[in-house]
Amino acid sequence: MEYYSNQIRLLVEQLASLPGIGGKTAQRLAFHIIDMPKERVEKLAETILKAKQTIRYCSQCLTLTDQELCPICSNPARDQKTIMVVENPRDMSAYEKTGKYEGVYHVLHGAISPMLGIGPSDIRLKELVHRLEKEVDEVIIATNSSLEGETTAMYISKLIKPTGIKVSRIASGVPVGGDLEYIDEVTLLRALEGRVEL
Ligand code: ZN
């Protein structure tokens, strides 16, 4: 990309380093940004920076939020005694879109993967165990049906069993290796409703 001047090259490089954005898209975005009015570019840059500065983990479920407690954890209408364990905030929003789940969540921020050297202490399991000290009726494990997701589900179920709290796993129907975020709402609901006790 030597035919671009330095600043354009830097912008394209920065954009191309984002997930899902290849070289061509990065170039298109870069030229689009350069064509945008200065105020809009400032607004975009400011919004990104502000999001980075203010967004943090919810102190209860660890999803991303700009408050101490996320809107779900702080909603008195939600059933605080049912906790659905998901791998990341995107999976959580997939379940929220169904509009049918009334409990709360716990976001692990990853899954156990011996192959990648990600162990139980690398994901937010300690925080989950801590939450179980309060009154909890059921933990629904909704990790992905990938090898990592299944390994994580097994690990969590073994961890929780001795406490006597009900542990369930969302039903298959979610395709193997499928990321929850790409699965349609009907399939998600079916998986939730057909969950099996472990
Ligand atoms: Zn929360």
CA distances from 137 to 11, 36, 78, 81, 160 (A): 50, 52, 13, 5, 12
Q: Rounded to the nearest whole angstrom, what is the distance from the C-alpha of residue 177 to the centroid of ligand 1?
A: 26
The residue assigned the tokens 């659905």 is 84
Q: Are 167 and 160 in contact (CB under 8 A)?
A: yes
How sure is the predictor about 130, in pLDDT bands with cuts at 50, 70 and 90? very high
The residue assigned the tokens 């409703």 is 193
Q: Rounded to the nearest whole angstrom, what is the distance from the C-alpha of residue 35 to the centroid of ligand 1?
A: 39
pLDDT tens-digit profile of 68-109? 999 999 999 999 999 999 999 999 988 898 888 999 999 999
Q: Rounded to the nearest whole angstrom, what is the distance from the C-alpha of residue 58 to the centroid of ligand 1?
A: 5
Cα–Cα distance, 100 to 64 (Å, whole number): 21
Q: Nearest-CA neighbor of 116 among 154, 151, 160? A: 151
pLDDT tens-digit profile of 157-196? 999 999 999 999 988 655 544 566 666 777 777 778 778 8
Q: Are 180 and 94 in contact (CB under 8 A)?
A: yes
Q: Rounded to the nearest whole angstrom, what is the distance from the C-alpha of residue 24 to the centroid of ligand 1?
A: 38
Q: Rounded to the nearest whole angstrom, what is the distance from the C-alpha of residue 61 to the centroid of ligand 1?
A: 4
Higher pLDDT, 141 or 185: 141
pLDDT at 60: 96
pLDDT at 176: 47
Q: Rounded to the nearest whole angstrom, what is the distance from the C-alpha of residue 23 to the centroid of ligand 1?
A: 36
